[in-house]
């Protein structure tokens, strides 16, 4: 009975694949690319437990002895802790400030009635999103360079002596946050503006009649309308908190060890071990450690998102 049902099911698969053969074939290239660049690396995390040998590949290399060999140094290294702390704290700063500015911008733009002005503002604020991190690093250099930088010139006008920004790690959490806000606020605000454009205008009309000021309308109508979007987007961002934007950090900070104290993140730390120092064992252990914690955080955030609003998590 059971076997029969299974046979029927198998026949079902064959039948379905045959019936829609062309449609399934269409999906194949995409599935293959995802398999090669996403699923294979997921299986490849095994490498953290191996004595990696380039000629033997990931699966052919010998197991490490003892099995946690690669992790020994990872967890005794101060740099691991520093990179983890920097990744999480900087990401929290980025999420908080980007969200604040993007929501603020959306709320203000929602009050702007002049179409032309709105368009003009939106295109200017979105422009930074279109340039690469390397270009941003040149922008940063033109502002923060010691001799030529515009910031030091500005300080000079006020009689403040020059600061060597590229040797002042304590300033960089602020600088990086400002850069992140500058680059992403316009883009992020679009999502909020989209939500606000769906709000029934009769709410505002009613509030107007009751004598609510612009500011009060923003605070008591628009902001509550945005709340679900804000919460979901923040939760999704927190899900990625273990992953720093490699392009940003390696582009702006590069190989400047003076700033590592506050700016070395897991991704740059792993990259350095892999491509500069060439310690594949250490790099793969760190990479594994990052993936595992990220995995747990993603699951947790998704649960919260679903709990907050059913179906708003990713799965």
Partner 1 sequence: MTNKLGRLRLSDALIYLSVFAFSIVCLLPFLMVIGGSFTDELEIQAHGYQLFPSHFSTQAYHILFIQWKVLVNGYKISTIVTVVGTAASVLICAMLAYPMSLKRVKYRRFLSVYSMLTLLFSGGMVPWYIICVNYLHLKDNLAALIIPYLCSAFNVFLIRNYFESLPEELSESAKIDGAGEATIFFKIIMRLSTPVIATVSLFIALTYWNDWYLGVMLIDSSDLQPLQLLLRSIVSNIMFLKTSDAAAQMLSTKGLVPSEGIKLATCVLTIGPIVFLYPFVQRFFIKGIMIGAVKG
**24-53 positions binding partner 1, by CB under 8 A:** 24, 26-27, 29-31, 33-34, 36-45, 47-48, 52
- As given in the structure block, the two tokens for residue 95 are 């999420």
Q: Which of 51, 79, 177, 291 binds partner 1 (CB under 8 A)?
A: 291
Strands (E), the chain: 50-51, 62-63
Q: Which of 96, 100, 194, 206 binds partner 1 (CB under 8 A)?
A: 194
Site string for partner 1, 227-246 (x = CB under 8 A): -----x------x---x--x
Site string for partner 1, 150-169 (x = CB under 8 A): x-xx----------------
Q: Does 212 bind partner 1 (CB under 8 A)?
A: no
Q: Which of 62, 111, 200, 205 binds partner 1 (CB under 8 A)?
A: 111
Q: Does 270 bind partner 1 (CB under 8 A)?
A: yes
The C-alpha atoms of residue 315 and residue 299 are separated, in whole angstroms, by 9
Q: Does 207 bind partner 1 (CB under 8 A)?
A: no
Q: Does 75 bind partner 1 (CB under 8 A)?
A: no
- Contacting range for partner 1; rule: CB under 8 A; set: 1-9, 89-97, 109-117, 166-174: 109-117
Q: Does 220 bind partner 1 (CB under 8 A)?
A: no
In eight-state DSSP terms, residue 171 is: G
- As given in the structure block, the two tokens for residue 111 are 């009050």
Q: Does 67 bind partner 1 (CB under 8 A)?
A: no
Which lies closer to partner 1 via its Cβ, residue 1 or residue 206? 206
The C-alpha atoms of residue 209 and residue 229 are separated, in whole angstroms, by 28
Q: Say whether the peptide bond before residue 129 is cis (omega within 30 degrees of 0).
A: no
Q: What angle do CA 197, 122, 119 make, to 5 degrees?
A: 80
Q: What angle do CA 259, 291, 234 make, to 5 degrees?
A: 75
3 state DSSP class of 51: strand
Contact 275, 202 (CB under 8 A): no
Cα Rg of the chain, angstroms: 25
Total residues in contact with partner 1, by rule CB under 8 A: 101
- As given in the structure block, the two tokens for residue 107 are 């709320």
Contact 232, 239 (CB under 8 A): no
- Contacting range for partner 1; rule: CB under 8 A; set: 80-88, 111-119, 199-207, 219-227: 111-119
Q: Which of 254, 278, 300, 303 binds partner 1 (CB under 8 A)?
A: 254
- As given in the structure block, the two tokens for residue 1 are 């009975």
Q: Which of 6, 8, 9, 142 binds partner 1 (CB under 8 A)?
A: 142
- Shortest approach of partner 1 to residue 217 CB, angstroms? 10
């Amino acid at each position: 009975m059971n076997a029969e049902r299974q046979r029927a099911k198998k026949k079902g698969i064959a039948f379905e694949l045959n019936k829609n053969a062309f449609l399934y074939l269409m999906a194949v290239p995409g599935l293959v690319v995802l398999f090669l660049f996403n699923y294979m690396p997921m299986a490849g995390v095994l490498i953290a437990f191996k004595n990696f040998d380039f000629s033997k590949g990931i699966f052919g290399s010998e197991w490490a002895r003892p099995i946690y060999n690669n992790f020994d140094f990872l967890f005794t290294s101060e740099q691991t802790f520093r990179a983890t702390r920097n990744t999480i704290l900087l990401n929290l700063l980025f999420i908080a400030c980007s969200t604040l500015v993007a929501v603020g911008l959306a709320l203000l733009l929602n009050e702007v009635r002049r179409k032309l002005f709105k368009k003009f503002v939106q295109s200017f604020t979105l422009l930074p999103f279109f340039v690469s991190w390397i270009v941003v690093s040149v922008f940063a250099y033109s502002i923060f360079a010691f001799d030529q930088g515009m910031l030091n010139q500005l300080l000079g006008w006020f009689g403040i002596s020059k600061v060597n920004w590229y040797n002042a790690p304590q300033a960089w959490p602020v600088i990086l946050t400002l850069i992140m806000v500058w680059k992403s606020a316009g883009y992020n605000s679009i999502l909020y503006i989209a939500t606000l454009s769906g709000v029934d205008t009769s709410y505002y009309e009613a509030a107007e009649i009751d004598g609510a000021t612009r500011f009060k309308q923003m605070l008591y109508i628009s902001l509550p309308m945005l709340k679900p979007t804000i919460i979901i987007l923040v939760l999704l961002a927190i899900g990625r908190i273990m992953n720093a934007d490699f392009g940003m950090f390696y582009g702006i900070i590069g190989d400047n060890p003076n700033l590592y104290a506050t700016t070395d993140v897991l991704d740059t730390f792993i990259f350095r071990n892999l491509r500069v120092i060439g310690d594949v064992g250490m790099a793969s252990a760190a990479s594994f450690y990052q993936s595992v914690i990220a995995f747990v955080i993603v699951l947790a955030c998704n649960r919260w998102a679903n709990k907050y609003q059913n179906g708003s998590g990713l799965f």
